[in-house]
Amino acid sequence: FSEADSMTFSIKVYDDCAVVSIVTNAGSHGTHVASIVAAHDPANAHHNGLAPGAQIVSVKIGDSRMGSMETGCGLVRGLIAAIQHKCHLINLSYGEATAT
User: Can you give the pLDDT of all 100 residues of the chain as single tens digits?
Assistant: 567 656 666 777 888 888 887 766 666 777 778 888 889 999 989 989 998 988 888 777 777 676 677 788 888 888 998 899 898 888 776 656 666 6
Dihedral angle computed from the Cα positions of residues 41, 47, 48 and 50, in that order, rounded to the nearest 10 degrees: -170
pTM above 0.85, yes or no: no
Distance from C-alpha of 2 to C-alpha of 10, rounded to nearest angstrom: 15
Distance from C-alpha of 72 to C-alpha of 84, rounded to nearest angstrom: 18
- The type of residue at 38 is A
